[in-house]
Amino acid sequence: MSLSYIDLFAGAGGLSEGFIRAGFEPVAHVEMDKAACYTLKTRIAYHHLKSVGKFQTYIAYLKGEISRKELYESVPTSLLDSVVNLPISAEANPAIHKAIEKQLNGEKVDLIIGGPPCQAYSLVGRARSKDGMKGDKRNYLYVQYAKFLERYSPKMFVFENVLGLLSAGNGIYLSNMQKLFRKKGYEIQVFNVEANNFGVLQNRKRIIIIGWKQEYNFQIPDLEKIKIKSNFTVNTLLSDLPKLQAGQDSDRFLKYKTKTNSYLADNAIRNGIDIFTHHVARPHTNQDKEIYRIAVEKWNSGKTRLNYNDLPERLKTHNNRKSFFDRFKVVAGNEPFSQTVVAHIAKDGHYYIHPDIEQNRSLTIREAARLQSFPDDYFFEGVKEGILKTPAFKQIGNAVPPLMAYLIAEQVNNVLEKINV
């Protein structure tokens, strides 16, 4: 029997995807963003149709041959209802509990996963806030998380957040979390992890908190000791995709440029379907493209980053000349990992310039998703139907890399199996 979990603050489902891949069974996903909830439902359709031998229906959706409504009609309503589109809060929790308990149908849940929105703990978020986000309600969403632990009494939980959690409020939030979780009957262990140690070709530092019921006495595996050796570079993720110019999309391609490689195949990024979506490039102004070309030339000729103040005066249009000197940054194709993919990628692509000067553009949605280790058959939805750049980029930037989530899930599974013996 599969181990079950509830995903809180589920986002687009990156964390959940890793746990599903490790053999866990989702009970419910709770997420306040409507577009992300459509993404979760579409991924549920993917897993269901694959399990019942009707995968061609999902392929038809990727190709645009059927609508989202038709896709969802091919999936049991109970599965789609497991996605709960509500904000976790005192006001909404009764409705969330009702939806979850309908899915549980009297059964117990083994695990709760998920982490509250990170802006309130992130160093960048605090720097941009006038009061360091002291009054931000998101600082206290862990209290709501603890209420779910109390109500559903899982054996373990996995809480993901940004590195800034360690220093937020001079450490008071983390300290208060530990006290609250202990009060609810859970011990915790905090891990400072880096995604590139889990095989993700991205520099992404995160905090993972593993919690377990105090009645269990076992050794939690040290996530900081996971070091996946990789001989691959970021170009490994980009080289098989059709070349695009700014403003172009690949809907007319639907085919890869080359055969797969071992990294893409072994990590389930290219997983047997010879079509893909979301390879859509933003349009850019001539000025931006000129800056991109300068940035790529500097990087490819000597691995030197562009300093904004070194640009010709005619290209400098930002008033702020004293900070954010690296606001234009190339994704280093010849390095073992890229810079961190964050939600700001939804606003512009200046920090994610493609390393191929001939393409002279920022990353496509699919390329950003690959840096996060999402499989190519993962479809990112908007509220409206179709491929919409802003919600897709936002969901990708906020996500937990599925590959990292999978390796964490395997460790959690090993512990839970010992409990269940």
Give me the active site residues, please: 118
Q: What are phi and psi of 211, to 5 degrees?
A: -120, 150
Q: What are phi and psi of 148, to 5 degrees?
A: -70, -35
E strand intervals along 172-277: 186-194, 205-213
Residue listed under structure tokens 């999402």: 374
Q: Which two tokens stand for residue 379?
A: 């479809």
E strand intervals along 236-280: none
272: nearest Cα among 259, 291, 284, 282: 259
Rounded Cα–Cα distance for residues 382 and 36 (Å): 7
Q: Which two tokens stand for residue 76?
A: 């049991």
Residue 322: count of CB within 10 angstroms of its CB: 7
188: nearest Cα among 163, 168, 216, 167: 216
Rounded Cα–Cα distance for residues 187 and 19 (Å): 21
Residue listed under structure tokens 């590195």: 163
Say which residues have a Cβ less than 8 Å from residue 3's Cβ, sequence separation at least 6. Answer: 23, 24, 25, 110, 111, 413, 416, 420
- DSSP for 67-95? -HHHHHHTS-HHHHTTEE-S--STTTHHH
DSSP 242: P
Torsion on CA atoms 348, 351, 353, 355, rounded to nearest 10: -170
Rounded Cα–Cα distance for residues 217 and 234 (Å): 41
Q: Which two tokens stand for residue 282?
A: 């933003």
Cα angle: 86, vertex 148, 221; to 5 degrees = 115
- DSSP for 152-196? H--SEEEEEEEGGGGTGGGGHHHHHHHHHHHHTTEEEEEEEEEGG
